[in-house]
Amino acid sequence: MHGIAKSGLSARIIAAVSGFLEAIVTLLPADAGGRLRPIAPRDGNYCPALRRALQDTPSIPIRFIEGPPWIAPGQDGKVVVEIEGGALDCAGFASGLELELVEGQRVVGILTVVRLWREAMVG
């Protein structure tokens, strides 16, 4: 059974659900308020946040884990991001959803959801 590891006589309890998004990210050019430097999605160390535009909702921390070697300001690319922070409500992540990519409070790009993966983590 996917997501549940059996240990001896009993199955472990699912502690959290992690999520991964396949998406197209478009970085704003620097002169439009975007980043000054490119990102390296494959390095796994770019950790911005996502938020829904025009809604007073909390931001969602993410980590880029796959994509092209570099995406420069003003460019786009297909990426995979891991949604950070434990348990996750993925109900609103439909294909085609556009989210703001933010660093602190500054919008630096747009992320368009292509596909969502959910994976149970056992504890």
Question: Can you give the length of the chain in residues?
Answer: 123
- Reading the block at residue 2, the tokens are 């996917």
Residue 1 lies in a domain: no
Q: Which residues contact 9 (CB under 8 A, 6 or more apart)?
A: none
Residue 44 lies in a domain: yes
Residue 19 lies in a domain: yes
The H or E element containing residue 46 is none
Residue 85 lies in a domain: yes
Closest to 116 measured CA to CA, from 73, 81, 87, 84: 81
**pLDDT in single tens digits along all 123 residues of the chain:** 444 444 443 344 334 456 899 999 999 999 999 999 999 999 999 999 999 877 677 889 999 999 999 999 999 999 999 998 754 555 567 899 999 999 998 999 999 999 988 765 444
Helix ranges (DSSP H) in 12-98: none
What domain range is 99 assigned to? 6-122
Query: pTM of the predicted model, to two decimals?
Result: 0.78
Task: Provide the number of structural domains found in the chain.
Answer: 1
Instruction: Check which CATH number belongs to the domain holding 37 and give it.
Output: 2.40.30.10
Cβ(17)–Cβ(4) below 8 Å? no
Residue 100 lies in a domain: yes
